[in-house]
Structure 1
């Protein structure tokens, strides 16, 4: 159910009041902390991938197959974590890649405000349920 004009005005007023009262908290709500956490997770996954390569090579040199298998599994898991984490770590104002099946001609408002993003997600969910 879309918001009425009155409800939209109230939400915009609450957003402005939040920015005026505590701009640091409001900017934290925009996802900067999550992006930092995700970026850190990607870097740890890359380090784990390198450790997996080391285990794989050590298993081959020592002729211990199980060590090589463990190294390969560590590499695989870290590669998956790095790729999925990197896709989530978009900067504010950037558009994440459009999922397949999305309509191309659709307007996508991205003004960087919390309430605009919430409203966009709400509309996307409604559109997906209606299909």
Structure 2
């Protein structure tokens, strides 16, 4: 069922509004914070080492209570530190080439032409041309 003229105008208006106002939300700022691959790897290794220390602490619990307790607490601290390190973003640096295309004026023109093509295809479908 095709849209009425009023519905089509309302849809076009909402689309223009979203393209103008929400482009700021989509584009990444210049000082974007991204996750570092190195920090992810080191964090994962720390989590695994901490998990091993917790398991070793549990195994030593019966034979040597203080050593098992210290090893378990240290392992838990290592796991928490590894997770924090893995999910902490870094500012700029080599890991920051994630700026979106919409931050450039040419990206905005490509978006507009894409929307124009989509509108043309929609009109052709509604008219039965293909």
- Could you tell me the TM-score, scaled by structure 1's length? 0.41
Higher relative contact order (CA 8 A, sep 6+): 2
- Could you tell me the TM-score, scaled by structure 2's length? 0.41
